């Protein structure tokens, strides 16, 4: 950790090292070490593709077994009942819950994470930024079941006030109306997920902001920009694609989070307009809570729902790649 | 750079040391289990009448219902002290238990529902010449726990329970509740009904009870997954019990052993002379009213949920041990037989009330013992 810090605080890398590096690479392409390394890395890449294909084939096969027996519509049925004959199950509520809870988490976590990262790199005194970074790293290492326990024992009992306030002032929108009840809803899940994905977004954003070219910042300062203007004009544009990548990492965790959601949510198979009313569910939570007691067929059905999560994750990652590819040329990445 | 390399070497050494130590301790624990033959002889006299039969030191694998986990744990502790056989019961859920059993991975499985016909067919593959059978071993009263300050000894009947859990009755001072509890001061408070979010035999039995007794008020098909709309959900019996404890005005269902401070059990008005409180004794009385519906050596029970027998608590589940009647693996059969014999014995069943489970009534457990003797 210390070594990287020192590296990044050195003056921005001049073009020479990269040139030298590429020369060395060109010259050494035939040396055995490079060939071995090439083989190893290519092998790893191919292995990854094979593993992904194997997962996809397995999911598709088991899912097809279940879906062909489903007496509801797999995409639109608001029910999950695989233990009876005829079995009826559908993923509508799970897909909605997964997406909504992840969106809530992103809306809360991304601005906070970017703010923390900017504070650490541009505002905080060095003596403070070290410990804060360290604490954020620690947050990332806390297992999700611990977040779940914390959520159930501390967060949920203390959310009554916030939920009541939202209901009083924003209840008229319908999205924040709340009937008396334990606050174990989609918003609770979103808040908990936001805390869980905060460290990874913060850490990556911090590293990206730290790489923002000093020359740009000094140039802006020389032109009389304030610190905020420097950040807005040179740091944020440079870091944009990095922040998006970081957010995608966080989103991946939010989409797939299992135990924490299963612990704080009161799941059912209805879509509630209000984010505050208990109910809904996510793919991972549903799999975790139903897998143990499910029979062979029930497991296939759960695997089918897992396949949908797999597809959603692929779509989200694809979309993120598109966004990053489009923004790359405007960012400072090639400065 | 050099520092890093040294670190890595140190790390590798450390990892080696740790894994080596783990491997050694793993061997060590094996050694003690097989080497404890001498000491187990004295332990067996101490543990009383446990008949180890031909059981040799070794290991039995088992998996299944989490509802009977505490009972199995207590039995295993006694049995392995006496006979030196390690029994590893995973409590991964009935579904997992039956699946692993039909794949031939287990000596026996625990389940809180009897084998379905297709599962019996699947079991024929692993029980050469025989099939999987259900042996009722543990009864468990399902308590309806509530948390309502100022109200003790709440009495409910099946139609009221069905309406509460189906969100048809939403206030504690509802006339239907008041009629059953004429002396209680019922507050004008919302009822928060909690059910299980995971699939569970407890849900299955509770909804079977509602469906059997009051089909007009409970129109859902039943099964391990909760089907009614409304209400709130929590994971596992412990989760439901914790939520009920946290929330004034809450009601939920869970195994009797999860009943704790601040949560009182509902007495059920079954139509008998007085409302019945859940207990080991009242659950055993309800199981005594059950019919054996299994064919041959299978002892699957059909509970009479509508029982009006005096002091019989109708919301009760029975968990089974599932074994092959014929064709058990020869290396695990002696130990399996000895263990099942022990848990079906008076001594084994006698442990249950202390754990808030219900012993299986005498005439049924007698059949279980005969069946165990015939296992091969």
Dump pLDDT digits (tens) for B54-66: 777 778 999 998 8
Percentage of chain A exceeding pLDDT 90: 51
* Angstrom distance (rounded) from CA B201 to CA A277: 27
Task: Closest CB to A181: pick one of B200, B225, B232.
Answer: B232
Alpha-carbon distances, residue A276 vs A185, B242, B244 (angstroms): 5, 21, 20
Does any CB of chain B come closer than 8 Å to the CB of residue A272?
Answer: no
Cα–Cα nearest to A279, from B75, B22, B195: B195
- Using 50, 70 and 90 to split pLDDT, how confident is the model at B176? very high
Task: Closest CB to B223: pick one of A81, A179, A263.
Answer: A81
Task: Closest CB to A181: pick one of B98, B192, B201.
Answer: B192
CATH of the domain at B339: 3.40.190.10
* Angstrom distance (rounded) from CA B327 to CA A64: 34
Domain shared by B70 and B128, yes or no = yes
Domain shared by B261 and B278, yes or no = yes
Distance from CA of B165 to the nearest CA of A (A): 14
| Overall average pLDDT of the A179-187 stretch | 84
Report domain extents, chain A.
80-330
Bridge partners (DSSP) listed for residue A185? A278
Domain of residue B254 covers 142-284
Tens digit of each residue's pLDDT (9 = 90 or more) over A252-279 = 999 999 999 998 998 888 888 889 988 8
Is the confidence at residue A15, as pLDDT, over 70? no
Tell me if B95 and A82 make a contact (CB, 8 A cut-off). no
pLDDT of residue A29: 57
Q: Testing the interface with A: which of B187, B234, B319 to mutate, by most A Cβ within 10 A?
A: B234
Query: Is residue A320 within 8 Å of A328, Cβ to Cβ?
Result: no
Examine residue B353 and state whether it is found in any structural domain, yes or no.
Answer: yes
* Angstrom distance (rounded) from CA B51 to CA B226: 42
Domain shared by B354 and B334, yes or no = yes
B273 by DSSP, 3-state: which? coil
Under CATH, what is the fold of the domain A80-330?
MetI-like fold (1.10.3720)
Domain shared by B94 and B63, yes or no = yes
ipTM above 0.90, yes or no: no
Domain shared by B220 and B274, yes or no = yes
Tell me if B235 and A296 make a contact (CB, 8 A cut-off). no
| Overall average pLDDT of the B218-229 stretch | 87
Number of domains in chain B: 2
Which 215-254 residues of chain A touch chain B by CB within 8 A? none
pLDDT of residue B46: 44
B267 among the known binding-site residues?
no
Q: Testing the interface with A: which of B232, B242, B246 to mutate, by most A Cβ within 10 A?
A: B232
User: Which residues on A lie below 8 Å from B115 (Cβ)?
Assistant: none
Tell me if B198 and A293 make a contact (CB, 8 A cut-off). yes
User: Which residues on B lie below 8 Å from A295 (Cβ)?
Assistant: 95, 98-99, 116, 119
B322 by DSSP, 3-state: which? strand
Is the confidence at residue B15, as pLDDT, over 70? no
Domain shared by B152 and B123, yes or no = no
Domain shared by B267 and B155, yes or no = yes
Domain shared by B154 and B190, yes or no = yes
CB within 8 A of A128, min separation 6: which ones? none
Domain shared by B93 and B213, yes or no = no
Strands B58-64 and B108-111: parallel
Cβ-Cβ contacts under 8 Å between A and B: the total is: 83
Examine residue B7 and state whether it is found in any structural domain, yes or no.
Answer: no
Domain shared by B198 and B269, yes or no = yes
CB within 8 A of A71, min separation 6: which ones? A86, A87, A88
Domain shared by B152 and B265, yes or no = yes
Tens digit of each residue's pLDDT (9 = 90 or more) over B236-265 = 888 899 889 988 899 999 999 889 888 999
DSSP secondary structure string, A179-244? -SS---BHHHHHHHHHHHHHHHHHHHHHHHHHTS-HHHHHHHHHTT--HHHHIIIIIHHHHHHHHH
* Angstrom distance (rounded) from CA B317 to CA B291: 14
B62 among the known binding-site residues?
no
Which 158-197 residues of chain A touch chain B by CB within 8 A? 179-182, 184
Examine residue B87 and state whether it is found in any structural domain, yes or no.
Answer: yes
- Using 50, 70 and 90 to split pLDDT, how confident is the model at A120? very high
Domain shared by B154 and B276, yes or no = yes
């Amino acid at each position: 950790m210390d070594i990287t810090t020192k590296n990044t605080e050195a003056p921005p890398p001049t073009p020479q090292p990269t040139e030298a590096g590429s020369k060395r690479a060109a010259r050494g392409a035939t040396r055995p070490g490079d060939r071995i390394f090439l083989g190893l890395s290519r092998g790893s890449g191919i292995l990854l593709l094979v593993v992904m294909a194997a997962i996809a084939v397995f999911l598709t096969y088991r899912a097809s077994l279940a879906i062909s027996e489903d007496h509801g519509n797999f995409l639109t049925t608001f029910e999950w009942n695989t233990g009876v004959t005829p079995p009826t199950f559908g993923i509508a509520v799970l897909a909605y819950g997964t997406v909504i809870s992840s969106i809530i988490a992103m809306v809360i976590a991304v601005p906070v994470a970017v703010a923390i990262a900017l504070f650490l790199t541009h505002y905080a005194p060095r003596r403070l930024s070290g410990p804060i970074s360290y604490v954020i790293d620690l947050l990332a290492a806390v297992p999700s079941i611990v977040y779940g326990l914390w959520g159930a024992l501390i967060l949920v009992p203390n959310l009554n006030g916030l939920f009541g306030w939202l209901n009083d002032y924003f209840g008229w929108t319908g999205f924040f109306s709340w009937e008396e009840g334990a606050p174990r809803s989609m918003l609770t899940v979103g808040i908990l997920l936001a805390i869980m994905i905060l460290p990874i977004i913060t850490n990556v954003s911090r590293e990206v902001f730290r790489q923002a070219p000093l020359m740009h910042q000094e140039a802006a300062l020389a032109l009389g920009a304030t610190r905020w203007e420097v950040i807005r004009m040179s740091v944020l544009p440079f870091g944009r694609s990095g922040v998006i990548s970081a957010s995608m990492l966080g989103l991946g965790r939010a989409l797939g989070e299992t135990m924490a959601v299963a612990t704080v949510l009161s799941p059912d198979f209805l879509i509630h307009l209000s984010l505050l009313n208990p109910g809904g569910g996510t793919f991972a939570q549903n799999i975790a809570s139903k897998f143990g007691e499910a029979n062979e067929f029930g497991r296939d059905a759960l695997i089918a729902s897992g396949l949908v999560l797999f597809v959603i994750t692929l779509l989200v990652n694809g979309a993120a790649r598109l966004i990053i590819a489009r923004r790359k040329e405007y960012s400072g990445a090639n400065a | 750079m050099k520092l890093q390399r040294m670190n890595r070497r140190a790390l590798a050494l450390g990892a080696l040391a740790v894994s080596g130590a783990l491997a050694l301790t793993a061997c060590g624990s094996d050694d003690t289990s097989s080497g404890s033959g001498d000491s187990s002889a004295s332990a067996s006299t101490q543990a009383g009448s446990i008949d180890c039969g031909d059981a040799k030191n070794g290991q039995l694998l088992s998996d299944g219902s989490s509802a009977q986990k505490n009972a199995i744990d207590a039995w295993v502790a006694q049995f392995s002290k006496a006979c030196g056989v390690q029994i590893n019961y995973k409590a991964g859920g009935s579904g997992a238990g039956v699946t692993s059993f039909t794949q031939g991975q287990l000596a026996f499985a625990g389940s809180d529902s009897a084998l379905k016909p297709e599962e019996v067919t699947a079991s024929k593959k692993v029980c050469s010449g025989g099939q999987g059978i259900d042996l009722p071993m543990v009864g468990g009263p399902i308590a309806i726990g509530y948390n309502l300050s100022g109200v003790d000894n709440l009495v409910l009947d099946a139609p009221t329970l069905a309406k509460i859990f189906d969100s048809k009755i939403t206030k504690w001072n509802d006339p239907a509740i008041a009629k059953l509890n004429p002396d209680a001061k019922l507050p004008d408070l919302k009822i928060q009904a909690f059910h299980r979010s995971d699939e569970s035999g407890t849900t299955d039995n509770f909804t079977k009870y509602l469906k059997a007794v009051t089909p007009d008020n409970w129109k859902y098909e039943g099964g391990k997954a909760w089907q009614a709309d409304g209400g709130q959900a929590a994971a596992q019996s412990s989760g439901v019990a914790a939520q009920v404890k946290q929330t004034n005005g809450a009601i939920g269902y869970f195994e009797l052993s999860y009943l704790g401070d601040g949560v009182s059990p509902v007495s059920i008005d079954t139509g008998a002379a007085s409302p019945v409180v859940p207990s080991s004794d009242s659950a055993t009385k309800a199981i005594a009213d059950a019919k054996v519906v299994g064919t041959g050596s299978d002892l699957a029970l059909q509970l009479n949920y509508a029982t009006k027998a005096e002091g019989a608590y109708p919301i009760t589940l029975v968990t089974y041990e599932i074994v092959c009647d014929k064709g058990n693996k020869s290396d695990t059969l002696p130990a399996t037989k000895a263990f099942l014999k022990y848990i079906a014995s008076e001594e084994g069943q006698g442990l249950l009330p202390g754990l808030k489970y219900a012993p299986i009534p005498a005439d049924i457990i007698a059949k279980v013992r005969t069946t165990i003797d015939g296992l091969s």
